[in-house]
């Protein structure tokens, strides 16, 4: 298994040189403590914990898996000790309010923390990661009493949280939820039903687990309009902060799955379990979107994590392993053969991984700034700014979740390919990365669901196409500034302007056709999503290239090779990866007939 090394140079480059996080934090009320020295200290400590504690448990946790017996789950060896250190060091409450035991730092710092930990050990990081969504949901929608009861132990890491949506008969189509909630005389509810695929649903890391559960009241309307949201604790909270009796919620079994074996994915049975309503009756899905959006950005982070992890493993192997001679001539005459990195096709794979990982990191960091600004506006009761940044974050979320997970899986497969046959063998750990990465395109809404959300809901229905223009305006502004100030980047600037124009044109064309053929949205949405992903990656790569060129031109850099690598990787992205967008542009405009004309009865296999 590749030993994880936190890419701190790239992180600092993005924070301090490209996205101006110091200036961003100075503009936030919650950013007063996030000085450059404080941020750097947090990054260094997080890197140390990720490299020395979490990374060594990644492969062993996969091989051992979780143990299930009589409704109880035991996590792999070392996980519990790692979690104790994680909680004791205050990592869980890094970006949550001081009044509940947190450190009150900006939400984006929590994202930086999560990136390193997720790359080092995704299975472990899911346990506290699910708690983040539960905490955010309670912060935004919980009553004062619920916040007082649950947020402090969740923030301190003494309790963890889960998200309970999926049932045997329904995944994405939550209108089919059957779990029922019946009112008790004391104001609580009795929940009965079964939830499946519940990550971290049962484990031995914490004393209590708080389930956030979708269920239906007896008189609820049909479909998604009749779903309510409930808190269901594993152990009832006592008045004095001590744990009360065990609730009627139990793990029925563990799912036998392809990857992330170190995380317990559970079937959860609710047998009249006591729950407490969050928000208003029949408004549960609106509240749950807070959790779901947190989880979707977290899953996008998984795409980045596996791309980075696979790249690190493949790069080290490509420099060490020798095979044949380079076509351009012998590179290592004293060796029996040249190393793999001497070969053009291996470089293609490595550069693809590098472009995905470093471009994806820039997009995630950019989105985290949007989240900071949205939270700031919410706390200051600035509705106009809140709506603006909520729209920006809502637009980019399906792009991040859909495109970055698809590209992260591609990068994971490329890492395995660099190893050749050795990549297929468990001891090297590259096949584990592929297995772990595969789920990212499926859960929290498949790529197709993200694509429908982006094109159908966010672009066509909610904004009438305006969302693309609003999001792409900063891209156009940046490109115009490049034309004025960076003559050597004229081609990049023109490429970006062309992308902005085409992106808006494609949106208009699809909107016009969809008026007569609604199926056009369904058949075009995947290509629209991927096009959007390549477009936004082009933007952040041009930004990185511009900074690198300026640093080299101004001189005085202690690491010129770092900036040279940035420029070369950007050139590779624009030459080799961005052209994929042309294929998506052509495909999305094709008639839906080519996809829909074959009758369902004619899909046969005999």
Q: Take residue 122 and report the two structure tokens written for it.
A: 């995704």
Pairing of strands 159-164, 208-215: parallel
Compute, in degrees rounded to 10, the torsion defined by CA atoms 99, 105, 110, 113: -120
Runs of H (alpha helix) within 71-143: 79-88, 107-120, 122-141
Separation of alpha carbons 22 and 35, rounded Å: 7
User: Which long-range contacts link 312-316 to residues 24+ away (Cβ below 8 Å)?
Assistant: 312/2, 312/4, 312/5, 313/1, 313/2, 313/415, 313/419, 313/428, 313/429, 313/430, 313/433, 314/349, 314/350, 314/353, 314/414, 314/415, 314/418, 314/419, 314/430, 315/341, 315/350, 316/2
Separation of alpha carbons 274 and 499, rounded Å: 53
Which class for 52: exposed (0-12), middle (13-18), buried (19 or more C-beta within 10 A)? exposed
Which class for 564: exposed (0-12), middle (13-18), buried (19 or more C-beta within 10 A)? middle
Q: Take residue 519 and report the two structure tokens written for it.
A: 């199926």
Calculate the CA 362 to chain-centre distance: 13
Separation of alpha carbons 315 and 308, rounded Å: 10
Report CA-CA distances (Å) from 242 to 43, 208, 238: 34, 11, 5
Helix 122-141, helix 284-320: angle, nearest 10: 150
Q: Which residues are catalytic?
A: 444
Contact between residue 504 and residue 373 where contact means Cβ atoms under 8 Å apart: no
Q: Take residue 544 and report the two structure tokens written for it.
A: 């990185």
Contact between residue 398 and residue 447 where contact means Cβ atoms under 8 Å apart: no
Separation of alpha carbons 137 and 286, rounded Å: 10
Q: Take residue 507 and report the two structure tokens written for it.
A: 């949106």
Separation of alpha carbons 518 and 78, rounded Å: 52
Contact between residue 220 and residue 282 where contact means Cβ atoms under 8 Å apart: yes
Separation of alpha carbons 254 and 72, rounded Å: 10
Phi, psi of 343 (to 5 degrees): -95, 135
Separation of alpha carbons 264 and 267, rounded Å: 10
Provide CB contacts within 8 A for 365, sequence distance 6+: 14, 15, 19, 21, 108, 111, 112
Provide CB contacts within 8 A for 461, sequence distance 6+: none
Q: Take residue 460 and report the two structure tokens written for it.
A: 């066509």
Closest among 348, 399, 342, 340 to 576, alpha carbons compared: 348
The DSSP-derived string for 315-343 is HHHHHH-B-S--TT--S-TTSSS-BGGGS
């Amino acid at each position: 298994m590749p030993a994880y090394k936190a890419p701190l140079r790239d992180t600092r480059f993005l924070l301090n040189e490209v996205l101006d996080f110091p200036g961003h934090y100075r503009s936030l009320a919650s950013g007063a403590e996030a000085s450059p020295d404080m941020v750097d200290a947090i990054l260094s400590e997080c890197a140390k914990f990720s490299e020395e504690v979490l990374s060594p448990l990644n492969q062993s946790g996969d091989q051992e898996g979780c143990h299930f017996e009589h409704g109880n789950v035991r996590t792999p060896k070392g996980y519990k000790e790692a979690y104790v250190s994680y909680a004791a060091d205050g990592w869980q409450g890094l970006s949550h309010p001081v009044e509940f035991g947190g450190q009150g730092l900006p939400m984006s710092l929590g994202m930086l923390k999560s990136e390193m930990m997720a790359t080092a050990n995704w299975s472990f990081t899911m346990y506290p990661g699910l708690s983040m969504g539960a905490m955010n949901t309670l912060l935004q929608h919980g009553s004062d009493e619920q916040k007082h009861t649950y947020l402090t132990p969740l923030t301190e890491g003494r309790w963890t949280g889960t998200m309970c949506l999926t049932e045997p008969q329904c995944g994405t189509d939550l209108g089919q939820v059957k779990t029922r909630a019946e009112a008790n005389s004391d104001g609580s509810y009795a929940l009965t039903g079964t939830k499946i695929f519940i990550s971290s649903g049962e484990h031995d890391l914490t004393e209590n687990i708080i389930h956030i559960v979708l269920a239906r009241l007896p008189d609820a309307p049909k479909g998604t309009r009749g779903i309510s949201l409930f808190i269901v604790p594993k152990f009832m909270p006592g008045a004095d902060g001590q744990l009360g009796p065990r609730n009627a919620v139990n793990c029925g079994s563990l799912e036998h799955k392809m990857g992330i074996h170190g995380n317990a994915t559970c079937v959860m049975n609710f047998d009249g379990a006591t729950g407490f309503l969050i928000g208003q009756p029949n408004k549960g899905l609106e509240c749950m979107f807070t959790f779901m959006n947190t989880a979707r950005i977290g899953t996008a982070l998984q795409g980045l994590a596996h791309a980075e992890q696979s790249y690190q493993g493949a790069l080290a192997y490509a420099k060490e392993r020798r095979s044949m001679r380079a076509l351009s001539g012998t590179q290592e005459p004293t060796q029996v053969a040249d190393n793999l990195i001497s070969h053009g096709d291996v470089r293609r794979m490595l550069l693809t991984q590098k472009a995905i990982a470093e471009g994806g990191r820039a997009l995630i960091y950019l989105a985290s700034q949007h989240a900071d600004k949205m939270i700031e506006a919410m706390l200051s009761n600035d509705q106009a700014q809140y709506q603006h940044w909520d729209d920006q974050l809502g637009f980019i979320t399906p792009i991040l979740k859909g495109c970055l997970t698809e590209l992260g899986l591609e990068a994971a497969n490329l890492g395995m390919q660099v190893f050749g046959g050795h990549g297929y063998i468990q001891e090297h750990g590259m096949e584990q990365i592929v297995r772990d990465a595969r789920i990212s395109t499926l859960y929290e809404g498949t790529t197709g669901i993200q694509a429908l959300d982006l094109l159908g809901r966010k672009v066509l229905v909610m904004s009438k196409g305006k969302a693309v223009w609003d999001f792409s305006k900063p891209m156009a502004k940046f490109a115009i500034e490049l034309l004025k100030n960076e003559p050597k980047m004229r081609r990049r600037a023109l490429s970006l302007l062309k992308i902005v124009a085409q992106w808006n044109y494609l949106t208009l064309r699809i909107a016009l056709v969809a008026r007569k053929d609604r199926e056009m949205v369904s058949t075009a949405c995947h290509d629209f999503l991927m096009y959007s992903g390549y477009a936004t990656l082009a933007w952040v790569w041009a930004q990185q290239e511009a900074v690198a060129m300026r640093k080299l031109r101004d001189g005085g850099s202690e690491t010129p090779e770092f900036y040279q690598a940035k420029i070369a990787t950007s050139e590779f992205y624009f030459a080799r990866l961005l052209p994929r967008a042309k294929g998506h542009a052509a495909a999305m405009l094709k008639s839906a007939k080519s996809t829909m004309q074959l009758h369902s009865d004619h899909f046969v296999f005999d």
